[in-house]
Structure formats: C-alpha cells, structure tokens
C-alpha cells in the first residue's frame, strides 16, 4: 500500500502526539575484603529515604527476588498502569555504594554472569571510554527509529567481584564493563515507548559480556561503538561521577521519552565530570529529532562538548555467545551456570 505524503505526515504527527501523551569471563581471583553485616546496614541506610517513600517505587518485602541477598531492593510500583506490581530486579538494579577510599570504590549490585556481585572497582584505572549506540526498532516505514545509548569502560586493573548472595565464596574478576540507564518495569512487561511514563528509569552497572547477552544474543542488535578522546583525569572523573549519580538516584526517577532516558542520564553524568562549554545545555531529546532520538544526537552532543570520537568496530565483532547445550570455546554451557541470564557471552 502506497501512502501519500500527507498521510505519512499525519502518521508522523500522530506518533509525536502519542509520545507526548505517554510522556513517555569470570576467572579465579584473590578474595576482596569481606563485607560485614555492619557495612551492609550502613550502605543500605545511606540510600536515599526519598527512594523508599516518594519515588516511583515503594518497599514491599513480598517483591524480593532472593531472600539471601541483603541488597535485593524488593520494590513495588506506586503509580500508573502497573501500580501495586513488583518491579523486576532480577537483572536491573542500581548500584549501592558500600565504601570508598583513595584506591577503590566498593559497590553492591554489579551484574555479571546472571547474578549480582559486590564489586571493588579500582580508581584511576580507566584506559578507554566508548559511547555505544544500539538501534533496536523503528516504525512508520523507518521514519522513526528507536535506539539505546550507554557508555563502556575499560580498566588497566581488574575489578574484584564477590558473589553477594548464595555461595558468597565465589569470586571473579574483569576489567570491561558498561554503565547503562534503562526502564524499570514489572516482570513479563516489555519496554514500550508508548508507555514510557509508566516505567521508572534506573542506572545499572554490569559487565560488557552480560550486556552482550541482552543486546546481541537476545535482541540480535548491532552495538555501534565510538571511542572517545579524553584525558585520563576526565575519564576517571566520568566513571566516578557515573557510579555516584547512579547510586544516589537509585529508583527515584520516572522514564520520559525525551527528557529522562538512557542517553540523557549518561550525559548528565558526563556533564557532572566535565563541565559543559558556555552556551551548551544539557542533552535532551527533541521531537524534531524523533527520526533518530539517541545515537546521532548523542554524537552531536559530544561534538558540542569538544570531545572527539572515532567510530570503531561494533561490539558484535568482539563477542561470541552460547546457550545451554552449546560450547563457548572449550566451555560447555549449562543452564545451571546462567542464573538469571539466557546465555553466556565471552570475548573472542
């Protein structure tokens, strides 16, 4: 069916109106310092009380995922279409800051290999920062495209991981991870831009291979990568500010298609670390950019901030994945290995 130019324009305006209405390689490592019950209670008490009382979610013990996990959020949604339903915290949680000193920052809720870990992240170790743009769908014959934006970090020293629930004697280490803001919603409810304001938005920290399971193995998406040219000081400040903001905001915010989304959250952290040039405002979406709301506007925002970037290989070229019954190199993947994940991915 061939549509007239007027019909296409009318459909475009209807879509914009609808958006407005919706508002819309684990490896053995040495033991990190043990986390004491007192440290756990202190970390939990340091989380924002507004997070628990006035944000989009409220505490509900019945919503817990893992009774052995002291950092399981156990929240229910307090507004909108999903009021009273439990959020799905099986793979999406904000970090909780436990402690930090001059050498490391320690957080809970680092997601890797289908489970959550206590992570000791070394300071002053960032060697690479990449912006990743991930197109995932389009409507109106490709006139309107949807994508996800996030930042990838590589370190010169490994992050030491300790399982935070179940068998806490399990350890791992890695040095490649992603900080990504995403919609928070009930289990079994798929993300939809038309229902965006019914969701919260949460910034999570997870291994690059764990994110590859979701974007490459499950969604079959191409993960475009742009390496940023930044000083070591700016890269390290960006990482620390990203972790701090993610921990402070927790579950406070509601998702909004143009003003509070994955890319705006990421750039808010970037702007906290590296002040914007005079006359440059925060990154926000605009309806006239709805044909590509995330990736190219994000690249333009980098240019405005005088941060050069270089397009490099897609993450897909670095990763291989396997589901239960398949082999990942010499490793035979089993369902018992996966936890909350649907597959396991590793660098080639």
pLDDT given at position 193: 66
pTM equals 0.84
Tell whether 186 is covered by a domain. yes
pLDDT given at position 190: 79
What are the b/e assignments for 215-252, b being 16+ CB within 10 Å? Answer: bbbeeebebbbbbbebeeebbbbbbbbbbbbbbbbbbb
| Distance in angstroms (rounded) separating the CA atoms of residues 44 and 70 | 9
Tell whether 341 is covered by a domain. no
| Distance in angstroms (rounded) separating the CA atoms of residues 71 and 65 | 10
Residues (pLDDT < 70) of the chain are 1-55, 137-144, 193-196, 285-293
Instruction: Return the structure tokens found at 307.
Output: 């941060």
Evaluate whether 39 touches 99 at the Cβ level (below 8 Å).
yes
Number of domains composing the chain: 1
| Distance in angstroms (rounded) separating the CA atoms of residues 263 and 180 | 9
Evaluate whether 178 touches 225 at the Cβ level (below 8 Å).
no
Reported as type and span, the H/E element at residue 168 is: none
pLDDT given at position 25: 34
Tell whether 323 is covered by a domain. no
pLDDT given at position 80: 80
Q: Which of 10, 19, 12 is nearest to 194 (CA)?
A: 19
| Distance in angstroms (rounded) separating the CA atoms of residues 166 and 168 | 6
Tell whether 22 is covered by a domain. yes
Domain residue limits at 228: 5-318
| Distance in angstroms (rounded) separating the CA atoms of residues 333 and 320 | 12
Q: What is the DSSP letter of 92?
A: -
> How many Cα atoms occupy the beta-carbon half-sphere of 80 within 13 Å?
21
């Amino acid at each position: 069916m061939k549509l007239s130019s007027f019909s296409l324009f009318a459909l475009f305006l209807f879509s914009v109106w609808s958006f407005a209405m919706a508002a819309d390689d684990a490896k053995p490592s040495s033991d990190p310092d043990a986390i004491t019950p007192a440290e756990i209670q202190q970390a939990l008490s340091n989380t924002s009380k507004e997070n628990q009382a006035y944000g989009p979610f409220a505490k509900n013990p019945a919503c817990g995922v893992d009774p052995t996990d002291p950092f399981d959020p156990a929240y229910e949604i307090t507004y909108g279409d999903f009021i009273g339903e439990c959020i799905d915290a099986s793979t999406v949680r904000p970090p909780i800051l436990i402690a930090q000193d001059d050498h490391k920052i320690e957080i809970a809720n680092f997601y890797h290999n289908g489970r959550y870990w206590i992570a000791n992240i070394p300071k002053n170790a960032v060697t690479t920062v990449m912006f990743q743009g991930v197109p995932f769908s389009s409507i109106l014959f490709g006139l309107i495209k949807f994508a996800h934006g996030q930042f990838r970090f590589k370190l010169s020293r490994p992050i030491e991981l300790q399982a935070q629930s179940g068998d806490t004697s399990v350890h791992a280490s890695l040095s490649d991870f992603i900080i990504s803001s995403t919609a928070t919603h009930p289990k079994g409810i798929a993300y939809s831009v038309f229902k965006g304001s019914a969701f919260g938005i949460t910034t999570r920290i997870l291994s690059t291979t764990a994110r590859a399971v979701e974007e490459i193995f499950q969604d079959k998406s191409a993960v475009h990568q742009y390496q940023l040219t930044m000083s070591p000081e700016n890269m390290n400040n960006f990482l620390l500010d990203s972790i701090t903001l993610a921990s402070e905001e927790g579950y406070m915010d509601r998702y909004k298609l143009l003003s509070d989304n994955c890319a705006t959250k990421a750039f808010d952290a970037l702007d906290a670390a590296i002040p914007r040039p005079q006359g440059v405002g925060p990154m926000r979406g605009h309806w006239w950019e709805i044909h590509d709301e995330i990736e190219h506007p994000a690249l333009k925002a980098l240019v405005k901030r005088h941060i050069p970037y270089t397009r490099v290989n897609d993450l897909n070229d670095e990763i291989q994945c396997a589901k239960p019954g398949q082999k990942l190199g010499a490793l035979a993947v089993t369902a018992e290995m996966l936890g909350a994940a649907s597959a396991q991915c590793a660098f080639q």
